[in-house]
Structure 1
Amino acid sequence: MGIFSGKTGLVLGVANDRSIAWAMSEALVAEGAELGFSHLPGERSERRVRQLAEPHNAKLIMPLDVQKDEEIDAFFDKAKEIYGKIDFVIHSIAYAPTKELQNPYYMISREGWHMAMDISAYSLLATTRAALPLMPDGGSIVTLTYFGGEKVMPGYNVMGVCKAALEHTVRYLAWDLGEKNVRVNALSAGPMRTLSSAGISDFDEMREHQAQKSCLKRNVDPKELGSTGIYLLSDMSNGVTGETIHVDCGYNIVGL
């Protein structure tokens, strides 16, 4: 019996086996959680997620375009039909057009800025609102962020601005939902090789720099992210909300 036995959660945004959300999912399943998954529209994305989720007997594997309110409603309606209620949500959704990441920040187009902010920040608000009716007894919501939302990380550009908005959205949601016993937190991971990071210029240099400058002189391991996810999503963190928890081997505290 794991600490999540009898608990159900939804994981939004797994892309492949390198996704931070997948590292968290594996840890949760090992502790007895039942999980439902969303994936990007398209056969390729569905195939990747099904290969990961079906061995764990996931009852919900469904496409979700968070720019479409009707798809958000459909996903959570299906979750209610299958599970009745849920205990937690993992939000692992972010996107900016590659060309917008490659150009200096001041060159971003209005269209690109709105798309990045809609998908990467507003989606937390929209999916939280849809999840609330499924959490009558309270619950926990965790989103994923990065230190580029706090300090300038060259090459991260508009995603840093999106993460700043995401992190402050966490704080306002935590305030609004506290009386409903719903906690909202962010996990700020060190730079991980994921599908999303492939679009960031100089990403390998970012990882090398962090390994050299962090307190632990290394980069974070995916299993460490899974362990922190268990903490934030379980009763162990019942008094924690509105926080951004750094799992980056101490890099964020270093000033040189």
Structure 2
Amino acid sequence: MTSSAAPLFSLAGKKGLILGVANDRSIAWGCTKLFRELGADVVATCLNEKARKYVQPLTDAVGVDLLNCDVEEPGQLEAAVAHAVDKFGQIDFLIHSIAWAPLADLHGQVVDSSRDGFARAMSVSCHSFAEVAKLCAPHMPAGGSMLSMTYLGSGEVVPNYGVMGPVKAALESLVRYMAMELGPQNIRVHAVSPGPILTRAASGIAEFDQLLSINRDKAPLKRLVTLEEIAQLSAFLCMDAACGMSGQTIYVDGGVHAMD
């Protein structure tokens, strides 16, 4: 590889915002840790003070500012973006790793979901990506990357995934429209679709252990993916090497998406 090509595969000097760190198993933390190792500067968020006691030691250890950010609370998303802009002067990447639905709606049938619960799941898990993108885009003068996290249940029925299936389908559609709208600003938008891993959010899905076992058996690689592998894909998509890609849902699931 020539020296001129090396910066394409680096995050050195890039600055960004990562939303949704919950603990040391969360996808947002995996991204935060790897992005720092690859030279990026990061501001991260967690939900609230309850989450902070688990997250603060992690972010402190890698030199990352941590803010509370509940996207349902007015002004908190704006404050997180403003802090990143004040600290860095610009934003090169955004990672949106937030998903939530009321347990009653998540564990029930989609046809039984409440109007309020469905709307809140859509607002937190999907529309908040559009909201934060609107806030970040003016501070990406050289363009950049915006990623959100989805799942296979968006495009096919996964037992017990329930209301999150339609919500993630909407998120993937949102990604395509955002890619079209933000493309002229050289902003690339993707959905990353990991295989199931044991995160706090996933623990709310009924019979999740069975889902892990099914995915392990079904995957061509005959194993589950790791937090590190999800972070590695996310890091690549935020590198200049991925500059020709936008509007995609990209799987990191051991190949499960390719199977019947």
**What TM-score results when the alignment is normalised by the length of structure 2?**
0.94
In 2, Cα distance between the equivalents of 1:247 and 1:132?
A: 26
Identify which of 137, 142, 153 aligns with 2:142.
137
Partner of 2:60: 54
Alignment of 1:47-196 (within 5 A): 47-58=53-64, 60-196=65-201
C-alpha distance after superposition, 1:71-103 (max 9, x if no partner)? 222221222111111110100011001111111
Q: Is 1:20–2:27 an aligned residue pair? A: yes
In 1, Cα distance between the equivalents of 2:86 and 2:16?
A: 14
Unaligned runs of 5+ in 2: 1-6
The structural deviation recorded for 1:68 is 3.5
Query: RMSD of the TM alignment (CA)?
Result: 1.3
**What TM-score results when the alignment is normalised by the length of structure 1?**
0.96
In 2, Cα distance between the equivalents of 1:105 and 1:146?
A: 17
- 2:216 aligns to what SS in structure 1? helix
In 2, Cα distance between the equivalents of 1:49 and 1:34?
A: 17
The structural deviation recorded for 1:52 is 0.9
C-alpha distance after superposition, 1:195-215 (max 9, x if no partner)? 001110011111100111111
Partner of 2:51: 45
Q: Percent identity?
A: 38
The structural deviation recorded for 1:69 is 4.3
In 1, Cα distance between the equivalents of 2:27 and 2:101?
A: 18
Partner of 1:32: 39
Unaligned runs of 5+ in 1: none
Dislocated runs of 4+, deviation >6 Å: none
In 1, Cα distance between the equivalents of 2:203 and 2:21?
A: 15
In 2, Cα distance between the equivalents of 1:57 and 1:197?
A: 28
Partner of 1:11: 18
Q: Is 1:254–2:259 an aligned residue pair? A: yes
Query: Which letter maps to 2:121?
Result: A
2:17·2:81 contact (CA, 8 Å) conserved in 1?
Answer: no
- 1:229 aligns to what SS in structure 2? helix
C-alpha distance after superposition, 1:230-255 (max 9, x if no partner)? 11111111001000010000000101
The structural deviation recorded for 1:190 is 0.2
Query: Which letter maps to 1:174?
Result: A
- 2:75 aligns to what SS in structure 1? helix
The structural deviation recorded for 1:177 is 0.3
C-alpha distance after superposition, 1:105-159 (max 9, x if no partner)? 1111011001100000001000100111221111101111100111011100111
Query: Which letter maps to 1:6?
Result: G
The structural deviation recorded for 1:189 is 0.2
In 1, Cα distance between the equivalents of 2:255 and 2:88?
A: 38
In 1, Cα distance between the equivalents of 2:98 and 2:230?
A: 16
Partner of 1:231: 236
In 1, Cα distance between the equivalents of 2:203 and 2:226?
A: 18
Query: Which letter maps to 1:127?
Result: V
In 2, Cα distance between the equivalents of 1:193 and 1:17?
A: 11
In 2, Cα distance between the equivalents of 1:220 and 1:113?
A: 29
